[in-house]
Amino acid sequence: MTHKHEITHDDIMSIEAYASQRKGFKSGMVEKKRHRRIEVGPVATFYFESYETMWLQIHEMLYIERGGAAQIEDELRAYNPLIPKGSELVATIMFEIDDADRRRRLLAKLGGVEETVFIRVDGHDVRGVPEADVDRTTADGKASSVQFVHFPFTAEQIAAFRRQDAEVIVGFSHPEYAHMAVMSEAVREALAADFD
């Protein structure tokens, strides 16, 4: 199955049309996203992106910011790279800590965390590749609370991932956050559909 890997101007609805159907789009996405997220350790959540999640995100930005035609190009440039291109998974990883002091202390210890992300499929590691446009660790070694990571799979790894009941583990090998989680069958199944 081939997916759309890029959102173009032709895919963008008018703000009026989007506004009139916004509630339906958002509630439909809640259900889809339920099987596209996995919590890893106490504070990190992986949200696996797709054409649909990015389409909604772009429309939400346009709806909220009302930047008109000029804004569309910026949003396409920002979000198109996060749509999986057929042989990869793409995740937005959020370190979600409400307490600002605690968040600052943890992120200060997590420099380079985006370089330590992996998906293990039946014992084979798919190393995460941070989105290239932004440096997510500051010069003083503080990690950003939001990371964008690509997971490029080989054909063999895709085949393994698609197998029903394949053991899929998502994790970090960072010394300050070496947490892992087993991906549920429902999430594995949803994400397996991202591959062409």
Burial per residue of 10-39, b for 16 or more beta-carbon CB atoms within 10 angstroms, e otherwise = eebbeeeebeeebeeeeeebeeebebbebe
CA distance 3 to 27: 22
pTM: 0.92
Q: Taking 80 as the threshold, does the pLDDT of residue 134 lie above it?
A: no
Domain ranges of the chain: 9-192
Segment 137-191, tens digit of pLDDT: 666 678 888 999 999 999 999 999 999 989 999 999 999 999 999 999 999 999 9
Structure tokens at 41: 């350790």
What's the pLDDT at 143? 84
Element (H, E) at 4: none
Q: How many other C-beta atoms can be found within 10 angstroms of the C-beta atom of residue 108?
A: 14
